Amino acid sequence: MGSTTSQSSGRTFKATAVAIAPYALVALDSSGTISVAGDNATDHVIGVTTEAIEASGYGNVQLLNSGGSVEALCGGDTIAVDAIVYTDGSGKVGTDNTNVKIGYALQASSADGDVIEVLIHNHVFA
């Protein structure tokens, strides 16, 4: 077995050479490493970190296909309970509906860096 582990709702991944904050949305690259997800449709957002991950270190990611909810970092947008949230750059969620849909806010946010619970949208990966 490789240097990663798999659980029913999470998996260990190696980060690129840049550290990743806890509760950040992450994308997977072609080499199998993760980085902070951007706000474009080309990023393959796979999950949310459950801990801080050092640069080139290993850490757990709660996969978005596991269902249920995740705790996610918020950008500067005001987010109401039950609002649809999308990727917002820098691994955060926001309300810009031109980005990738993540789910529905179960808590409100009014400040950059807040952590809220998000009900995961059923993703279809292309």
In this predicted model, what pLDDT tens digit does every residue of 52-75 receive, in sequence order?
999 999 999 999 988 789 999 999
The confidence score (pLDDT) of residue 44 equals 85
The confidence score (pLDDT) of residue 8 equals 56
In this predicted model, what pLDDT tens digit does every residue of 11-65 receive, in sequence order?
999 999 999 999 999 999 999 999 999 876 678 899 999 999 999 999 999 999 8
The confidence score (pLDDT) of residue 123 equals 60
The confidence score (pLDDT) of residue 126 equals 42
The confidence score (pLDDT) of residue 103 equals 94
The confidence score (pLDDT) of residue 75 equals 92
Strand order in the sheet with 69-73: 69-73, 115-120, 101-105, 84-87, 93-94
Domain ranges of the chain: 10-65, 69-120
Q: How many Cβ atoms sit within 10 Å of the Cβ of residue 25? A: 30
What is this structure's pTM? Answer: 0.88
The confidence score (pLDDT) of residue 48 equals 96
pLDDT for 6 beyond 60: no
Rounded to whole angstroms, the Cα distance separating 75 from 122 reads 22
Identify the CA nearest to 107 among candidates 76, 74, 75, 67: 74
Rounded to whole angstroms, the Cα distance separating 60 from 75 reads 22
Residues 6+ apart with CB under 8 A from 82: 104, 105, 106
Q: Return the CA Rg of the chain.
A: 13
pLDDT class for 121, splitting at 50, 70, 90? confident
